[in-house]
Every structure is written in structure tokens, then in C-alpha cells.
Structure 1
Amino acid sequence: MRYLFTLILGGFCLMPAYTDEGMWLLNEPPKERLKEKYGFDLTEPWLEHARLASVRFNNGGSGSFVSPTGLIITNHHIGSDALSKLSTPKRNLLKEGFYAPTMADELKCEDLELNVLQDITDVTERVNNSLKDTPPAGAAAARRSVMAAIEKESLEKTGLRSDVVTLYQGGAYHLYRYKKFTDVRLVFAPESGIAGFGGDVDNFEFPRFNLDICFFRAYENDKPTTPKHFLKFSPDGPKEGDLVFVTGHPGTTNRLETTAKLEHRRDQTLPYTLARLRAMEAALLQYSERGPEQRRQASTDLHRVANARKAFSGQYQGLLDSATLRTKNTAEYNLSVTAAKLPEGKEMNDKYLKAIATVREVQAVYKSIEKEHNLIETSTAFSSPLFSIARTIVRLVEEQPKSNGERLREYRDSNLESLKLELFSPAPIYADLERAKLTASLTFLAEQLSVNHPVVKVALEGASPAKAADELMKTKLFDVAERKKLLEGGKEALRKSDDPMILLALILDTHARAVRKKFEEQVEEPERQAYGELAKVRFAVLGRTVAPDATLTLRLAYGVVKGYEAEGKQIPYATTFGGLFEKADRQEHKEPFDLPKRWLDGQSKVDPAAPFNFASTADTIGGNSGSPVLNRAGEFIGINFDRNRHGLVRNFVYTDVQARHISVHSKGILEALKLYDCPALLKELGK
């Protein structure tokens, strides 16, 4: 794969780009590129239709409306969290699947929030103006304050969820307004055996054979919502060579980061991340072996962790190839040389080189606190839902009395409703699974920080991780009423509480806030200012021909349906139903290639030549799971669910030589639904 990295990274390419690279902002779409390369006129009505039909799931996935009565399609693995929470020991929706023949039979998801983007406003000037005459030490607080003010004004004016999003790592700021849906109900899910056929073995591989779909419905005032914009289901779907579009919410890319930042990721961030994921995966696998009920309880977490481990492993492999960083270094030099030739070139280039140096210097500071920050402050701290609940209560009590602009970002007014939806979710938390995750997390904490670290001493209190976890499991936070009681009781209730999880959150909060403050002021803020300077140079040299890195916000990608060559073989653009059954036979129907009974019994009912999964060159990443794939007419022709292993390097560099995104074909979806007794669903999809 070495030749993949000889490509100039898209973020620093100094010539017009003619590849399909780009996760484009919908308010800055690649109209000229599409017209020049594909003869396609990307119109504002087309973009509005795609935007208002696209949906973001609060667990980091994407989806889309596909009917005028609020029907939404996403991936099974995005819906798995809801499926798991709706399951019981006697009814395993993940394994067995689900279908609601009528709307009255649909199952309400208690803590699922969906967002539909209504509009985008550029607020860069206002954010940057708020920082004028502000000392560097106060810039982080000033920026946080103005962003919170913009969001609060927007929320009060429109009633819409309002988020100020940082783009180009600090080069621009846009206000995104979303319509929220919190009454969401499950309509259909296939069995996990076909949704995730091939399991971890086939994850990030192609050819693939997955019915990775799940249907939900959004409600308003106890009635199905009636979206004006939804994607018409194409019965034919795409064929090889077709131009396709993907609208979704890619999570994170690192293409505009400097060489020094990527070196830090290679040497510090990724090794730590992989160690954490492997430790948790081992704990979840061990727990799953206790019995079928334990396997059911752990299945969603295990899939998420295993998927992340494989994805980060691919990223690490990409950065271990020295050609990647050599190419990045060369690109930085070339941009500097080109900038120096501009009218204000010397001053601009001096600032550019200073910014590059600043990012490099900051990495030394980050190295000194990164493990503490990740282990104590971030959302992965203790990998425990109960600890997250305890911390949220402790911090809500502390943050809410403050002015909106002084609060930690996640406790700003515009996010409180979503935060409380999750905090007061009645979804089950399984005590034995929680104990296993806590034990693994506390063990990893001690391994990484040493037993003499003050946080480890507080967390363990001289006990083994298993015994410490047993003590923490005496918490009452399983009960939603107890959570509400503590929050409503405020500081007095927390002061009197003897709940072990609350006590741990209280004791750790001072240390966690201190390491967060150091990270924000000595790492995040200097980097943001430096990247802001780098963005100015990039804009001066390249204009807006380079898309910003992914930020879990709605983007538009495009490409062509296309196979590729690998290991001396030509891989076709699509798989078929016949290929699915052939592979299951070849693997002797052993897990994870064991098909559900309905598929074995119904093999004669489906067309063996019908397309199942397909690949294209469109630029996608994690977070695009569930993204609709559209044709030129804006119709639904597939649903993205994965990349192949050659595409894992796309976090850092785009390539279309072998890298592909993988989707379920719309014709394949309709063909597969023949095996399910779901006439109402097929009718709603126009079949």
C-alpha cells in the first residue's frame, strides 16, 4: 500500500483537485468541481432536499427520512443501542429482529434524540472580534463565552437546538440549528446474523454481505411527523460508474493537522487508545462467555469497542508508514513556498512558520498530561455509565448557577435538554456488566498512571480494582428517581450523600477540572490559534477549494460506483444474494457466517443475481454510518455502513486507488424484505 501515500494530502494540495475528495459543507458545496468533472449541476433545491431529509442520531450515526410519515432508515449497528435497551432476557431484539406491523406496535426509544439541520450561519467574524485585545491566557474563556452567547440567543429566538461548530481547527465558526425529535419509535430490524454477517472477521473488508439496516419513526405530539422532504426509495439502485452522493455526519478526520500533530498521534495517542480498547474488549469477551444473557447484555458494547479497535489499528498502520509523514512534511513546505510569493507573502509566511512551530511545541505539553486527561476527564473515564451519570449530576449542580458563558461547554443552555434526556433515561444498566467494565477500567487506570498516583489512590482506596468496583456498585444511581432527587437537592443533597459513585465523582472533580483547564489553556487554545493562522494561509493560497476536517456535522461527499484491484484480483463493485449463500456454505454456516433460519428457509424466494452491497469512491469516515446514498435525482439508492481496510487511512489522506465506502444497495434492501412479513413497510417504501 506504500504507493497510496505518495499522493499529496488533499488539505495541502497546491493544484486543482480532480479526485472525489471532500466532506463538503452544505453552505460551501463543490459546485464547480461537480460541473467540471461530472457535468452535474448541484442546485440549491437539491441541497435543501438532501439537508432536510438527512438525520443525525445522538449516538454518533446518520440516517434519513424515506417516507412522508416520518419513517427513518439507519444502520442496524446504529440502532443496536436502542435494540439492546428495548430487549429483555426473554426477547432479544438484536438477535431475533423486530417488526411492528402497525404504528401502534412500534416501540418507543426512551433516550434517542434525532437532529435535522435547518440552517447554517457563518459567525466567524463575531467570534474572532470577541477575541480582539484579549490576552492569550484569556482567549479560551472569551471564545467559550461568545460561542455560548450565540447559541443561547439562537435557542431563545428560534427554539431550535443551536451549536456553534469550530471548522478548520479554528479557521472558521458556523452556527448550526437543528430541529430535534425525542419521540422516536422502532419499526423494523433484521436479525443480527444477517445485519452483521461475517462479524469482526469481515469488518472493514469487501466483498461484504450485510443487511445493515434499521427503521425508526419520528413522532411529534404523539403523531408521526410529516416531513416535507424525504428520499424516494429507488427500486433499481446504482450501477457501476454511476455518480453518487452521501449526506451524513462524519465524525473526525485529521487531514489538516500538521506533521508534528500526526507524529504525536502515532507516538502517543494511538498506542494509548489501542491499549485501552484492547483491555476493554478482553473484559467484554470474558463477560460474554459467562452465558447467553451476559452475551446479550455485552453485545452492543463489544461491537462498538471491537469496531473502534480495528479502525484505530488501521489508522496506526497508516501513520507507521514513513511515506505518510514525508508527504505531509513536503506539502507543508510547498504551501509555505507558495504563500511567500503572494503580495503580503513574507509576513504571511512568517506567521505560517510560527504557527507550525507552535503546534510542535504544544505537543510536549500535551504529552505530559494526555493520559491523565483521557483517563480522568474525557467521556471514556472509567468506561462506566454510572460514573458518567454521577459526574453529570455533580457538574450540573456546580455549573447551572453560573452564567451561560462561564460554564463548561457541555452544560451550556443550548445543550441542557439533550443532556437531561440522557441523564434521566430509564434504559437498563446491568449491574454485573457494569461491575466488569468498572473493574477493567480501574485496572487500566492503575496500569497507566501507577498505583501511587493520587487519582488511583482515591479510586482504589488501597483495595484491588475488583473490590473497589464492588464498593462502587452499592450506588443508588440505577434508579432514575434517585438521580432526579440528587439534582433537585443541589449542593446540600450532594453534601449529605453517601452514595459511593457520587462521592468518587465529587472527590475526583477538582483534579479532573484542573487537568481539563490545563488542556484547554495550554494545548487546545494554542493549537486553535495556530491552526487559525494556518487556515488563513490556506485560504489565501487555495481559497475554499479544501473541505474542513470532519466535525460530526452534516456534510456532502460524492464519488462513483466502482470496483478495484487487490492482491492481483479484480473486486467487482457489488456483491449478490447468490454470493451471500455461497459464502455461508463455504464457511459451513459457522459463526459469524451462520445465517438466520428465515434466510436459509427462504433462499428460493430471492433473486440470486440481485445486488446486495456495493462500493464507491465517495469520501466517508466513522460517523457516516447510516448515511443515505443518493443519485443525481436525489433518490435513495443505498445506505452507507462501512469502509474497506484500504479506506482506514482516509483519516489522514484521501485515496481512491483501493479505498472504498460500502453500502447496502436499495434494490438489495427491497429484495431482502421479501423474506419478512412486512407488507406495510414495503408499501411505505413505495414497493
Structure 2
Amino acid sequence: MSLRSLRFTTCMATLGAVSAILSVGSTPAKADEGMWTFDNFPIQTVNTKYGTRIDQAWLDKVRGAAVRLNGCSASFVSGEGLILTNHHCVVSCVQDLSSAENDYVKNGWMPATREEEKQCPGQTAEVLTDITDVTDRVLAAGAGLEGAAFVTARGAETQAIQQEGCGDDPKLTCQVISFYRGGRYALYKFRKYDDVRLSFAPEFQAAFFGGDPDNFNFPRYALDAGFLRAYEDGKPAETPNFLKWNAEAPKEGDVTFVAGNPGSTSRLLTMSQLQRLRDQQLPLQLIQGSELRGRLLAYSATGDEAKRVSVDPIFGLENSFKVWYGQNQALLDPAFYGKKQAEETELRERVAADPALAQRIGDPWTELETVQAAARDLAVPYRQLVTSAGGGSTLYGIANGIVGLAKERAKPVAERRPGFTDAAIARTTAQLGQEVPISKDLEEIYLGFWLSKTREYLTVDNAAVKNLLGRESPEALADRAITGTKLDDVAYRVAAAGMSVEELTALGDPLIDLAMKNYDASAALRTEWDAKVNAPTARAAERVAQARFAVYGDNLYPDATFSLRLSYGAVEGWSYRGVTVPATTTIGGLYERATGSEPFNAAQKFLDAEDRVNKDTVYNFVSTNDIIGGNSGSPVINAAGEVIGAAFDGNIHSLGGSYGYDGELNRTVTVSTAAITEALRNVYQQPRLLEELGVR
């Protein structure tokens, strides 16, 4: 359990106008479409189209230099653990290192020496080292079982595979990942670094120039870049496999590759699943997200300190809100929705035309329609009491984690929920010992919002609501629980993590008591969801995947699952409704766009350096690469395997990126290494970083 597992910080996700989306992922990929796994990358297709000479050695080099952060992507760019990513991927760390006296979010983090680099609480850096197919083992684990028993068996086998792969080695992470919605499974083994320190971050205004109005748009003028460093045994990690820094900007037409960890796409969902997303899940997220944003904005206006501590949460929530809105608009577009329907109809008809295949596959689409009916009934309580419990409160997340440790530790290992092995419990306890600044004002907002929405949606007479609130109002309970808890004290929560249920109850901590009340209700809902939704969905989705393989072959990329992928494309602008958008912007455009008023006020250091910088330097550029949220910080790589930028956004026409890709309009937005180099040299005077990057 990460201490910031419930914070409202999210990374890049793509948005745009879906009426023009023509390609989706249920048929063989077209154009530059696809977030491909490294063990199934279409090498020959790319080499033929772009005249490149990439091979397995090239792929292995890129894979070994790509880094997965918490919710973001990155890459090693030196042999001494230096990591390039986006500023918005490190801003929560910058916030944690800040105080009212030293606001590094506002002023930037620019240590003069490595000794001044500070650890980012809870951050890890992982490098994929091995991929092993485990499909047969996972599929066999649920044979003959139904409902919750099926989910439990699958979970136990998955946990066993992970334990066999990594054991209790703290330097390794093993994860069994589902691909093609259950069509295949693979064990991904990672080399993990859990001492990750902040090396450099520009001012927030330089990184997010243009603010929310420019977010998911282009032209852009944002220095959305930051540097971390992996440490091992207190020293910079030795990372001989890194991407060489290329300080030259790419030209239009140059081939580009993006290596990163796209979070989640839904291109392989069936129509009944998409319909429930459109009609229930996304509207609820939009309604609640909008109201929470209003509460956070109101709080941020109460004073300088309130504004400082709420910058990151507001940024993350506004980013998420645009994503949810874009996804919902995509599914409301008749042309796009009709295209998805036509593709599903084609697949089903081709299965039906092959009697042997039809007998083997059955009718999983109708089965999934039945599942959606059950999911609609359970979705709201499941969301309020399980997936969104605590409403984003870090302290509630800690309390809930501690209660979970006590509950699961009391069971035999074989009967515990996945993720509660002895080794996992030890790792969680260690994470609880990390110092993380916590704003109790924000905590009270999150908790009170969650309790009030839970009462509103489940009603006052709901048994779970009565159990949570008793005779208190949501606001009063939130105030009492946050004010009265001692979980913001590291020693206290580490001690609590080792206690039994009885000992926790005796503590009388109001937040632990609240988490305890919700734990059993949420556990019962989780079991019901497994039985009525997860298990039958997994069974049916596997057969839909097999149908795709049978009809279209293996030349398919899977939906994104926050696992390492590689996309290919080229630097290219686009035209829309008579307007042509160029592929690049320059630093000079920043000064022309600046108005002096938020959010178009240029950072002071850029204003001070105006006479020194080369205004012709390419600042941001766009390419046809297919990416999605989670790709934030991904290295953009040229054909020689050199890093030429860090992807940080998508253009406005990528609105339906979760559900389809349009090579004519969808674009990845990247901050160039040329601009980062120019800023390090002439804006921030960082000779030590330039030397490490090999820049003269």
C-alpha cells in the first residue's frame, strides 16, 4: 500500500474529437496504431514503413533503459542512475519536500550537488528484465470453478507464480499481467529501486505554462520535465544500460518510438461493457469529480498555504476530469459508437460462420450482457464502499491498510487475500514508516466528501451508511476522525501495523475505528462483486479474446495494462477543418504567448533569461505515436535508440484514445531534449547535469 495510493494525482491521458476516429483495436492494427508488448513488436512492419533497422538488440536496449514509476513512465539517461521523466510525475515529491517557508513547487528544485538530492517518499523505479508466458497455469487454476471460488483460485495461483519468480528479494518485483482481456497471461519481472531521489524540477509555471486551458492542446510551450536518480545502498545506482541524450531537435518526418507504461485502454471491451461505462460509470465519475474540484478550489482560495498544498491535488483532479469527460463524449458520438458496434457485429458473424469455432467459443457476448445487469446493481455501493473508500484521504488509506494487515495476518497464509503474503506485509509495514507531509485540512475535505456522497447515493437508511455514520453528520465525523487520529505520526502507525484486531480496537483511534467499520461491509461487497461480475467477466472475456485470435490472427496489440509497451510513429502535424497545425513550437513562442496573467504568465527565470536563450530552439513537438495515460514521462526515442524528448500529453483530437486510434488526428505531445538542454544551460545554469548528460 503506497502512502499516496488514494491521492488524486494522475498522469497524462489523451483527449480529442471522436467524430473523426476511424480505427479501433479489435482488428489488425493500421497506420501507427498500437501499444505493443516488447515480445510481440512488429519489427518488420516498422522497418518496411520507415526504412529503419531496428532489431532484437535494439529492443533489448530500450527495454533495459525504460523505467516504470508510480503511475508514470521514465528512462535512465546516464550510467549513474539519472532518470528523465515529466515534471507532473515528480510534482508530488516536490510538494512533499516543500514547506510554507520553502515552496519548491513554485520556485523549482535545483540542488547544486548530488548530496543535496532528497528522497521522494513512496517512489520506486522499476526496470523490466524478464517476460515469461504463464497463460496455461493461470487458465488451469480456475478450471471447474465458478464465482468467488474461481477468483480466489486464480488469485492464489497468480500469487504463487509471483512468489516463485521473485521470492522475498526486496530488489525484485514480480507481476502476473493479463493481456487481451484474459486471452493471455505473462509474468513480468522487474529490477526495483526503492530509494529514488529528486535531482531537478523547474518551477511549476514553467512546467505547466498555459494551465488547464492548454492541457491536452497544441501548440504548447511547457517544460514538463524533471530528473530523478535511483540510489542503491546509499549511492547512485550503476545503470550502464541507458539512453544516450541527443540534444538535437527532431525534424518533421523523423521516426519516433515511445517506450512507456500506458495505464488503461478499453479498446477490446464488448458493446455491453462500453454501454455501462457510458451510462453509469463515467457520468458518476464526472459528477463527483466536478463537485470535489469545486470544494478544493474553494479551499485553495482561503489563503497562501491552502493554495500551496492544494496545487498538486487540483492539477491531478482537473487532469482526470478532462479525461473522463473526453471518454464519455467519445461513447456518446453516434459515428464512433456505430463503428464499434459494426466491428463487434463483424466478429460475431465470422465466429458464427465457422461451426467448429462457434461451438468452441459459444456466446460470450450475451453472457457479458447478463453480467452488466448485475454490475449495474452493485456498481454504486461497490464504488462508494470499496474502490473509492476514503475519497482520496491518505490517512484513511493508511488506516484501511492497517486494518487489512490485522484482519489478513490472523488467517492462514493460504486463506489470505492476494497481496497479503508475509513478504508483502513486511513491505507494507516498511512503507508505512516513510515520512510524508499530510495536510489535515485536505484530509478532512476528502473524508467528509466521501461520507456525504456515500450517504447521498446509498441513502440514509442503508445499513452500511448507518454503520459508518451512527448519529453523526458526515462533516462532523470527518472532523472528529481527522482531528483525533494519530496516524500522521510515523512511529504510531508503524506500531499499529503490527497490532491485532483486538489491539487496534483498544487504541480508540477514531480513523482506525471508521476503517474497521467499513472493512467487513466492503469485504462482503468485494466477494459479491467477484462472484457476480469478476468471475463471469473473466470467463467470457477469455473466449472473446480467443475469437479475435481465431479470426484476425496474432498480429494484435493488447489493451493497455500499465505494463511496458512500445509505440512507433513520426514527427508530424495535422490538419482539421481547414486549419493546419505544425509539428513543432519554439521557445520564442513562449514569450509571444505570455500575457503576464495566470495561467499564461511565464516563469520568472524564463523572463530573466530571455536575452540568453536561443528562441529558435524547438520546445515541444507532436508525433503520430499511439499513447494514453501512464505514458507520462515516457522517453521519445529516435531510430538510433537515443532519447529526443519526454512525452507529456496528447492533443485534443485524441479524445477517444481509450477506445480507438485515428492516425490522421491523434498526436503525442513531447517536450524536446533540445529545449531541456537549452533550459539547463541558459535558464537554470545546471552544468553538473549537462556534463552527466554528455552535453558540451
TM-score after normalising by structure 1: 0.95
Structure 1 residues 127, 108: CA separation in 2 closer, same or farther (over 3 Å shift)?
A: same
Aligned to 1:65: 76
In 1, Cα distance between equivalents of 2:523 and 2:107: 44
Q: Which of the numbers 106, 110, 128 marks the counterpart of 1:99?
A: 110
Could you tell me which residue of structure 2 aligns to residue 132 of structure 1? 143
2-side partners of 1:414 and 1:54: how far apart? 26
Q: Which amino acid aligns with 1:397?
A: A
Query: Residue 389 of structure 2 contacts residue 450 of structure 2 at CA under 8 Å; is this kept in 1?
Result: no
Matched-pair contact (CA < 8 Å) for 1:152–1:413: no
Partner of 1:9: 24
In structure 2, C-alpha distance between the alignment counterparts of 1:92 and 1:39, rounded to whole Å: 48
Measure how far apart 1:119 and its partner are: 0.8
Name the residue aligned to 2:509. Answer: 499
Assess, with a 3 A threshold, how the Cα gap between structure 1 residues 41 and 337 changes in structure 2: closer, same or farther: farther
Match for residue 631 of structure 1?
A: 638
Letter in 2 for 1:675: V
Cα RMSD, aligned residues only: 1.7
Cα separation, 2, equivalents of 1:140 and 1:185: 38
Q: 1:278 to 1:410 in 2, by over 3 A?
A: farther
CA drift of 1:480 comes to: 1.4
Alignment partner, residue 548 of structure 2: 538
List runs of 5+ in structure 2 lacking aligned partners.
1-16
**CA 317–123 in structure 1, closer or farther in 2 if over 3 Å, else same:** same
The 1:487–1:3 alpha-carbon spacing in structure 2 relative to 1, beyond 3 Å, is closer
Distance 1:2 1:219 in 2: 43
Structure 1 Cα separation of the partners of residues 343 and 362 of structure 2: 13
User: 1:606-632: per-residue Cα shift (whole Å, max 9, x none)?
Assistant: 111110000011010000000000011
1:632-651 to structure 2, matched below 5 A, reads 632-651=639-658
User: 1 CA distance for matches of 2:259 and 2:313?
Assistant: 26
Name the SS for the 2:266 alignment partner.
Answer: coil
Distance in 2 between residues matched to 1:72 and 1:569, nearest whole Å: 37
The answer to whether the aligner puts 1:109 opposite 2:116 as a matched pair is no
In the TM superposition, residue 137 of structure 1 has moved relative to its aligned partner by 5.3
Higher relative contact order (CA 8 A, sep 6+): 2
| Match status 1:206 vs 2:206 | no
Q: CA deviation at 1:380?
A: 5.2
Alignment correspondent of 1:524: 534
Match for residue 474 of structure 2 among 465, 469, 483: 465
Partner Cα distance (2:250, 2:23) in 1:
30
Q: How does 1:169-568 map to 2 (within 5 A)?
A: 169-341=181-353, 345-350=354-359, 352=361, 354-379=363-388, 381-412=390-421, 415-416=424-425, 418-473=427-482, 474-568=484-578
SS at match of 2:498: helix
Counterpart of 2:25, as a letter, is G
Q: Is the 8 A contact 1:170 1:531 kept in 2?
A: yes
Residue identity opposite 1:653 in structure 2:
G
Whether the aligned pair in 1 keeps the contact of 2:623 and 2:667 (CA below 8 Å) is yes
Q: Which amino acid aligns with 2:570?
A: V
CA distance in 2: counterparts of 1:277 and 1:509, whole angstroms: 24
**How big is the shift at 1:190?**
0.3
Which of the numbers 665, 674, 686 marks the counterpart of 1:678? 686
The CA distance in 2 between the partners of 1:304 and 1:418, in whole Å, is 27
The whole-number CA distance in structure 2 between the counterparts of 1:156 and 1:171 is 26
Report Cα offsets for 1:281-324 as digits up to 9, x if no partner: 11111110111111111111111111000111011111111222
Cα distance between partner residues in 1 of 2:111 and 2:43:
42
Cα distance between partner residues in 1 of 2:143 and 2:449:
47
Residue 575 of structure 1 aligns with which residue?
585
Gaps of 5+ in 1: none
- Distance in 2, matches of 1:489 and 1:413, equals 15
Distance 2:430 2:291 in 1: 30
Letter in 2 for 1:9: V
Change over 3 Å in CA distance of 1:231–1:8 after alignment to 2? closer
TM-aligned CA distance change 1:537 to 1:594, over 3 Å: same
Q: Is the partner of 1:410 in helix, strand or coil? A: coil
Secondary structure at the counterpart of residue 650 of structure 1: coil
Shift of residue 364, structure 1, vs aligned partner? 0.7
Gap change, CA 1:578 and 1:405, over 3 Å in 2: farther
Deviation, 1:201, is 0.9
**Secondary structure of the residue that 1:121 maps to in structure 2?**
strand
**Matched residue, 2:164:** 153
Give a deviation string over 1:152-193, Cα, whole Å, max 9, x none: 111228662111111111111110111111111111100001
Equivalent AA in structure 2 for residue 496 of structure 1: A
Specify the alignment match of 1:613 in structure 2: 620
Quick check: 1:577–1:609 contact (8 Å CA) kept in 2? yes
Task: Answer whether contact 1:284 1:437 (CA < 8 A) is retained.
Answer: no
Structure 2 counterpart SS, 1:662 = strand
User: SS of 1:207's equivalent?
Assistant: coil
The 3 A distance-change label for structure 1 pair 36 and 417 is: farther
| Deviation for aligned residue 1:639 | 0.3
Distance 1:275-1:421 versus aligned 2 partners, 3 A rule: farther
User: Tell me, what secondary structure is at the counterpart of 1:180?
Assistant: strand
CA offsets, 1:639-660, max 9 Å, x none? 0001112112110011122111
Asked if the contact 1:314–1:645 (Cα under 8 Å) also holds between the matched residues in 2, the reply is no
> 2: CA distance between counterparts of 1:448 and 1:492?
32
Q: CA deviation at 1:455?
A: 2.5
**1:280 aligns to what SS in structure 2?**
helix
Structure 1 residue 414: Cα displacement: 6.3
Deviations 1:560-599 (A, max 9, x none): 1110113421110011111111000xxx210011112211
CA displacement at 1:495 relative to structure 2:
3.0
CA contact (8 A) 1:252 1:622 kept: yes
Runs of at least 4 residues of structure 1 off by over 6 A?
Answer: none
8 Å CA contact retained: 1:260, 1:359: yes
* Structure 2 CA distance for partners of 1:414 and 1:556, relative to 1, 3 Å: farther
The one-letter amino acid of 1:521's match is: A
Q: Following the alignment from structure 1 to structure 2, what is the Cα–Cα distance between the partners of residues 421 and 255?
A: 38
Q: Are the aligned partners of 1:643 and 1:662 in contact in 2 as well (CA < 8 Å)?
A: yes
Task: Assess if the C-alpha contact under 8 Å between 2:258 and 2:635 holds in 1.
Answer: yes
Give the secondary structure class of the aligned counterpart of 1:10. Answer: coil
Letter in 1 for 2:382: H
- Write the letter of the residue equivalent to 1:554: L
Distance 1:583 1:170 in 2: 48
**Do the aligned residues in 1 keep the contact of 2:32 with 2:625 (CA within 8 Å)?**
yes
1:616 alignment partner AA: S
CA contact (8 A) 1:161 1:414 kept: no
Q: CA contact under 8 A between 1:315 and 1:648: conserved in structure 2?
A: yes
Q: Structure 1 residue 458: deviation in Å?
A: 2.7
- CA 1:418–1:298 in structure 2 vs 1: closer, same or farther (change >3 Å)? farther
Deviation at 1:347, TM superposition (A): 3.7
Contact 1:18 1:37 in 2 (8 A): no
Instruction: Tell me the equivalent position of 2:58.
Output: 46
